Chains A and B, each alone.
Chain A
Amino acid sequence: MREGPVEQAKLKTWSALSGQRRKPSEYEAVAYDAHFLNDYAQPGKSGPALPSIGPDSFINRWYQKNLIESPLRHDDWLAFRDPEEVTYRRYNIIQEGQENYVAEILDRFSNEGHDTGLSAEWQTVLARLYTPSRFLHHTVQMASAYAATTTPASTISHCYAFQSADALRALSHVSYRTVELARCHGQAGFNEDERSHWETAPEWQGFRELMEKVLVTYEFGELFAALNLVAKPAIDEACLRQLGRAARRHDDSVLDLLSDAVLKDTARSRSWTQALVKFLGARDGNVPLLRGWIAKWEPLADQAIDAFCAGLPDGDRAAVAARQATRDFRAAMGL
């Protein structure tokens, strides 16, 4: 926010926040308007994003095209708040607890010889659909990290940053389990075939196509719709929830519980996603844009869900449930 002189000799909070009636929370004091880039780079502003650098430099053209000219509009982008007010220190408190829980699961079931009890049929599913998912989570990590660089407000950027780190968390769990499974079942292709499955197995090509295309969607508005309203819900419903359910039915308690643990991160991501949709809804024209982008991306996501679930036992039911859940999530936001 570009501010002029402030006359008050006593300030209880940042002058930029002193206009709001309520006392700012710690979250607001540390997260509000923390990127000076947004003084110039917001949808509808005149730019250039970085005025000290030539207007024709690639970076200014990039922000011009992908943020300043975004068709989404809002009168006060800085007014967006994460409903869960996740600050950095809160994030680590939450996630340290979550990771302690995960370590407990990994430790306990390893001591109990969990993996030796996995059936050959289920091992095949894991090698084909679970351990290659580190590539998928990494695409979410990358897309979310990019999204954090191209937002109109730091409060949105922070949400994306935590989402990116959450994806790195999921990918870490998968990598850990990949090695454990490979040690227990040397012949099942664990820690060998993941990249080839990701690049060629029919179950993965839908999600790979979806995420490669999301990764090259650089404009702020469409990226939000493609990633947080369509692709990520599809991934969470198919590759976490439905895969986790199948794991439960095949005595794979570790994957069942790990999936649930990661879905807690999903719930946090959905909470701010819903808040941002509501925030955008305050201005005419935004919701139709979101609907248009959803209509464009949904077929790819549906295709990805179907292809992935085809590899699951009872895959038809899983695909229907996953698709429906993505629609329920959007419908709850009026989308």
Chain B
Amino acid sequence: MTLLQRSDWYDVARDTNWTPSFVAEAELFPSDISDPFDMPKAAWAEYDEPYKVSYAEYVKVQREKDAGVYAVNTAAARTRFMEEAGQRWHSVLKLHFGAVCLAESSSQISEGRMARFGRAPGMRNMATFGLLDEIRHGQAQLYFAHESLRYSPQFNFAHKLLGTQEWGAIMTRSTLDDVFLGRDAVTTAIMLTFAFETGFTNMQFIGLAGDAAEAGDTSFSNLISSIQTDESRHAQIGAPLLKLMVKNGYKAEAQKAVDIGFWRTYRFFTLLTGTVIDYFMPLEKRTSSFKEFMEEWIVDQFERTLLDMGLDLPWYWDFFLEDINSFHHGMQIGWWLYRDTVWFDVPAGVSPAEREWLEAKYPGWNDSWGRLWDQIGENIRAGKTDLTVPKTLPVVCSFNNLPLVTTPGKSWDPQGQMLTYKGKKYYFQSHVEKWIFEQDPERYAAHQTLIDQFLAGKIQPPNYEGALNYMGLSPVERGKDAENYAWAFAGREPRKMAAE
């Protein structure tokens, strides 16, 4: 064999910038969609993508990866597993596929934008592979979800969810629109590939793959860990860009993009990953708590990466470290109470043994969140399950669309979490959401949460049932308690139960 090595010719393939003369440079790379900071060419010339791959290597490796992923998913093996897996695992899959399939598909648009408007050829080439990767991620996960339709029509939400006005869909779209569909190529590289993918998809995909393997779902575990190998390649589009921004005097701009992207992404994954890891996963299959995953993947690794690059920790870091103890517990109560507003059956995840685990992982849980579940459990045991469904819509954050929650027993500062802009009042989950809003109010002010749509008269009839239909949820699609309330009776004698 006398083939050249990739390193012999790789630099030639990324030496493709030229000086246009038939059109203006500013037309070829409009600042708004390319580089809003107008960094000089000399700065861009330093861009060096750390993960190098050639086209031939890409198609070979990816073909092999897919062969592995699809082969494991033999129909017979999967059928057996799914039938025995139990509702809780089905719920994990439904939540994941609903939030992720079309999100990944749609991030093709972000990769395409970087492939066109990145100013460094190496960035454009890597984003071209990223563009293919995201087609893979959308298609492979849609394929698995489609195969699962036979188990429940709720798997249909893998395809349907992001086209609905379901509140989780509104939350997901507003996050994705802001973080990676509605940004220029440079900011996309920071917010999507650095904040979103380097930090959080690692946790979702590796963390969940570990739990899936524990749960016995080999094909899902293979699928998402294989996806993560692509993510860890194209996630490196942002890091070299951040480095050159810091070096060339654009640190403040880079820092702000990181701070915004990180927080929005954090909220998204708290909802998606935090609740799954700490509540949905069967207790005996759990590998770590959400907080432990966060501390490993985010607090340690991401923190180190940021500092190595010459960036600072986001200004809200202390608040963030506090928040990972609590926010997702509130979201779990939200999932469960409003279970008929979501597309999967919600496991409460608070049987006595699970509560012990939660107390051990989050000291003080029983005295705060546990008290709320005590009341819910009592209502169920008294046969008053109707009291456990609110039947009114909650107050939600004007920005991230999630119900406003605070840890029971802790003080709350509503004044610091609202503002009036052009005559309209906005309520925020925290002062961080408020800060992001203030950075560019015109970008965010027109957004309509589900509650805004209700108040605008879009939901007819204007009641809870009308809202469920508006969200695209028929009675067969709406979530229920994943275990038919068995958890509320666990560990109790039947006689005692009857007395209650």
Q: Do residues B139 and A3 form an inter-chain contact, with CB atoms below 8 A?
A: no
Total chain B interface residues with beta-carbon distance under 8 A: 92
| Interface 1/0 per residue, B52-82 and A, CB below 8 Å | 0011100110110010001000000000000
- B39 within 8 Å of A (CB atoms): no
Q: Do residues B106 and A35 form an inter-chain contact, with CB atoms below 8 A?
A: yes
* Closest chain A CB from B87 CB (angstroms): 16
Q: Do residues A145 and B112 form an inter-chain contact, with CB atoms below 8 A?
A: yes
Q: Do residues B16 and A138 form an inter-chain contact, with CB atoms below 8 A?
A: yes
Total chain A interface residues with beta-carbon distance under 8 A: 90
Give the complex CA separation of A33 and B129 in angstroms. 21
Chain B contact residues, CB within 8 Å of chain A: 1-4, 8-10, 12-13, 15-16, 18-23, 27-28, 32-33, 54-56, 59-60, 62-63, 66, 70, 101-102, 105-106, 108-109, 111-113, 115-117, 121, 124-125, 127-129, 131-132, 135-136, 138-140, 142-143, 146, 149-150, 153, 156, 159-160, 162-165, 170, 173-174, 177-178, 181-184, 442-448, 468-469, 472-477
Give the complex CA separation of A133 and B184 in angstroms. 28
Q: Do residues A195 and B15 form an inter-chain contact, with CB atoms below 8 A?
A: yes
Q: Which of A52-60, A120-128, A286-294 contacts B (4 or more CB under 8 A)?
A: A52-60
- A238 within 8 Å of B (CB atoms): no
Q: Do residues B447 and A135 form an inter-chain contact, with CB atoms below 8 A?
A: no
Give the complex CA separation of A88 and B333 in angstroms. 39
Give the complex CA separation of A154 and B108 in angstroms. 10
Give the complex CA separation of A191 and B106 in angstroms. 38
- A245 within 8 Å of B (CB atoms): no
Q: Do residues A102 and B109 form an inter-chain contact, with CB atoms below 8 A?
A: no
Q: Do residues A95 and B59 form an inter-chain contact, with CB atoms below 8 A?
A: yes
Residues on B with C-beta less than 8 A from A16 are: 159-160, 163
Decide if the interface of chain A is mainly helix, strand, loop or mixed.
helix
* With contact pairs A29-B143, A57-B442, A99-B56 given, residues A36 and B12 touching in the complex (Cβ less than 8 Å): no
Residues on B with C-beta less than 8 A from A55 are: 446
Give the complex CA separation of A178 and B446 in angstroms. 53
Contact among A59, A143, A168, A179 for B125, CB-based, below 8 A = A168
Q: Which of A207-215, A246-254, A274-282, A317-325 contacts B (4 or more CB under 8 A)?
A: A207-215
Q: Do residues B476 and A9 form an inter-chain contact, with CB atoms below 8 A?
A: yes
- A110 within 8 Å of B (CB atoms): yes
Please name 12 pairs of A and B residues whose Cβ atoms are closer than 8 Å in the assembled complex, sorted by A. A2-B165, A3-B472, A31-B139, A36-B163, A37-B109, A95-B59, A142-B124, A165-B128, A175-B12, A176-B9, A199-B21, A213-B23
Q: Do residues B125 and A52 form an inter-chain contact, with CB atoms below 8 A?
A: no
Q: Do residues B23 and A146 form an inter-chain contact, with CB atoms below 8 A?
A: no
Q: Which of A69-77, A156-164, A228-236, A326-334 contacts B (4 or more CB under 8 A)?
A: A156-164
Give the complex CA separation of A148 and B178 in angstroms. 20
Residues on A with C-beta less than 8 A from B446 are: 53-55
Q: Do residues B13 and A89 form an inter-chain contact, with CB atoms below 8 A?
A: no
Q: Do residues B18 and A52 form an inter-chain contact, with CB atoms below 8 A?
A: no
* With contact pairs A59-B183, A212-B22, A216-B27 given, residues A145 and B16 touching in the complex (Cβ less than 8 Å): no
- A141 within 8 Å of B (CB atoms): yes
Q: Given contacts A92-B63, A107-B1, A107-B3, could you give 11 more A-B pairs where the C-beta distance is less than 8 Å?
A: A6-B153, A6-B156, A6-B160, A7-B475, A11-B153, A14-B159, A58-B32, A142-B115, A180-B4, A212-B22, A212-B23
Q: Which of B4, B32, B102 has the most CB of A within 10 A?
A: B4
Give the complex CA separation of A107 and B3 in angstroms. 5
* With contact pairs A29-B146, A145-B131, A216-B27 given, residues A54 and B153 touching in the complex (Cβ less than 8 Å): no
Give the complex CA separation of A138 and B163 in angstroms. 35
Q: Do residues A88 and B139 form an inter-chain contact, with CB atoms below 8 A?
A: yes
* Closest chain A CB from B256 CB (angstroms): 17
Contact among A13, A148, A158, A213 for B22, CB-based, below 8 A = A213
Q: Do residues B146 and A53 form an inter-chain contact, with CB atoms below 8 A?
A: no
Give the complex CA separation of A157 and B181 in angstroms. 15
* Closest chain A CB from B320 CB (angstroms): 23
Q: Do residues B12 and A134 form an inter-chain contact, with CB atoms below 8 A?
A: yes
Q: Do residues A99 and B16 form an inter-chain contact, with CB atoms below 8 A?
A: no
Residues on A with C-beta less than 8 A from B477 are: 5-6
Q: Do residues B109 and A171 form an inter-chain contact, with CB atoms below 8 A?
A: no
